[in-house]
Amino acid sequence: MKKVSTESYKGVRDFYPEDKALQNYIIGTMRKVVESFGYEEYDASVLEYSDLYKSKTSDEIVNDQTYTFTDRGGREVTMRPEMTPTLARMIAAKHKSLLFPIRWYSIPNFFRYERPQKGRLREFWQLNVDIFGIKTISAEIEVLEIAFRIMEAFGLKQEHFKIRINDRVLIDETLKGLGLDEEQSAEVRRLIDRKDKIDNFDEEMTALIGKPLSLDILPNENIKTLIESLAKRGIHNVVFTPTLMRGFDYYTGIVFEVFDTSGENNRALFGGGRYDRLLEIFGEEKIPAFGFGMGDVTMRDVLTTHKLLPSYTSNAHLYICTVDQESFEGAYALAETLRKDGINVIVDSSSKKVGSQVEYASKKKIPFILCVGENELTNKKYILKNLFSGDEQEVTLSDIPKHIKK
């Protein structure tokens, strides 16, 4: 028989329980904050018709990296590289029956065919938070507060990150006076986006438009209101950054990006913006929209940098060791009662020595054990041991949940 490889596909991850627990911590923290703002979860399949990505919905770079193939029925399909086109499709399909404003989130996985490297994998997960149907800056205020509260929930302090904001309208106005066509304007925007990374910005700009371009742009009312409103909510790390472009073609107003100030994670951690016209590709009227996406791989890296990831503990709270076969039924009954009280329990029915049962629980990082034999089952008293602290105490069945939940 030919031996099959145990490798996972290149650039994707296997999640062993310790990896999955970390992933669940990251995703669970995002979910908790977003839900605390009343956002509702939506989802869709990772498979979409390829046509969805062929119009102006996506970043060009993203489109060059898709997993696209033909199904057995001859349909061209793509594994989604981002969520916004899917979200816009879903809103467009039902916008007449949906009640606006809509506050939605999702934590889907994406596929992009790139060379795997730090912070970039071929499959990653991303929180997507979007609000539809609010024209005013109150959408930006709410969604940026959510972004901030998520960072806070991870244990990051204001000084650990900066929220850079800009308004696409400002740069559009600046460019309008120059008499450029669409393609030239796009090139100028791309150059501005790279300003902080290159030395010869003025020269390159002159090569493009015949002269240097002043970027002494003053913030408009939207930018000022946004900064002031967030400050009132205790958020003081928002910075107006007139060179911030954020690549995606579909943005129409405020854009933002969050940066790590430690210097260890150079690229934007995540970002988003206003995209009021995206539904037009489905032949629908425009609907105001503002949102952002926050990836799991990037967040894991930044939390690692700041030593903010929790250490692993087993899903099981309690391991019941059994002294002999005669104790099995009593142990099962105990376990069943505790499970109904929300305690996750494993019963050992291996008939191994108690010492090796305890050793197993300890290696598995299960926090509590108790051992059951004839004595315990007769007296209905048990020694509950915390394997992390070493503390022991005598308890009755009804005491156990409160000790463990503590």
8-27 residues in contact with a second copy (CB under 8 A) are 8-10, 12-17, 20-21, 23-24
Q: Which residue has the tokens 């596929």?
A: 111
Residues 6+ apart with CB under 8 A from 369: 318, 319, 320, 321, 358, 361, 384, 385, 387
Q: Reduced to 3 states, what is the DSSP secondary structure of residue 384?
A: strand
Rounded CA separation 90/87 (Å): 5
| Residue 236 touches a second copy, criterion: CB under 8 A | no
**Out of 25, 37, 63, 204, the residue judged to bind a second copy by CB under 8 A:** 37
Which of 28, 60, 61, 93 binds a second copy (CB under 8 A)? It is 93
Which of 39, 250, 256, 259 is in the footprint of a second copy by CB under 8 A?
A: 39
Judged by CB under 8 A, which of 180, 332, 337, 395 binds a second copy? 332
Contact between 281 and a second copy (CB under 8 A)? yes
Task: Sort 117 into a burial class: Cβ within 10 Å, 0-12 / 13-18 / 19+.
Answer: exposed
> Which residues on neighbouring strands pair with residue 260, listed in sequence order?
161
Helix (H, G, I), strand (E, B) or coil at 301: helix
The answer to whether 55 contacts a second copy (rule: CB under 8 A) is: yes
Say whether residue 203 binds a second copy (CB under 8 A).
no
Could you say whether residue 194 binds a second copy (CB under 8 A)? no
Spatial strand order of the sheet with 67-70 comes to 47-49, 76-79, 67-70
- Nearer of residues 12 and 383 to a second copy, judged by Cβ: 12
173 interacts with a second copy by CB under 8 A? no
Q: Tell whether residue 310 is a contact of a second copy (CB under 8 A).
A: no
Our finding on whether 266 is near a second copy (CB under 8 A) is no
CA angle 51, 52, 55 (to 5 degrees): 85
Q: Is 48 in the site for a second copy (CB under 8 A)?
A: yes
The yes or no reply on residue 280 touching a second copy (CB under 8 A) is yes
Give CA–CA dist 154/269, Å, rounded: 14
- Cα–Cα separations (whole angstroms), residue 336 to 325, 328, 346, 383, 403: 18, 12, 10, 18, 17
Kindly state whether residue 319 participates in binding a second copy, applying the rule CB under 8 A: yes
Nearer to a second copy, 179 or 283 (CB): 283
Number of residues counted as binding a second copy (CB under 8 A): 95
Query: Smallest distance from the beta carbon of 136 to a second copy, in angstroms?
Result: 8
Residue 363 interacting with a second copy (CB under 8 A): yes
